[in-house]
Amino acid sequence: MGHLVVYPGDRTPPLASTLNFSAGQTRANNAIVGLASNGTGTVAVKNNAASAVNVILDVNGYFQ
């Protein structure tokens, strides 16, 4: 059991989770996440689980 937090790469992680999961689950979620404002355009993913997880991050669009 755990959760992932996705957030702009130059910020501290928020307290809210982006995706909650249990062991052995394949989960999907839609989220709007800002990019880092320092010019790198990165996002960070924080794993709050007891072990490693596999993550696929797919970008479907962007705002200007």
Question: Alpha-carbon distance 20 to 4, whole Å?
Answer: 7
State the residue range of the domain holding 1: 1-51
Model pLDDT, residue 3 = 96
Count: domains in the chain: 1
Q: What are the pLDDT digits (tens) for 28-52?
A: 999 999 999 999 999 999 999 999 9
Model pLDDT, residue 62 = 83
Question: Alpha-carbon distance 53 to 47, whole Å?
Answer: 8
Average pLDDT over residues 21-28: 93
Q: Does some domain include residue 64?
A: no
Model pLDDT, residue 53 = 94
Q: Does some domain include residue 56?
A: no
Q: Tell if the pTM clears 0.85, that is, is over it.
A: yes
Q: Does some domain include residue 62?
A: no
Q: Does some domain include residue 13?
A: yes
Closest by Cα among 18, 23, 59 to 42: 59
With residue 13 as reference, give the H or E element that holds it: none
Q: Does some domain include residue 42?
A: yes
Closest by Cα among 36, 38, 39, 34 to 59: 34
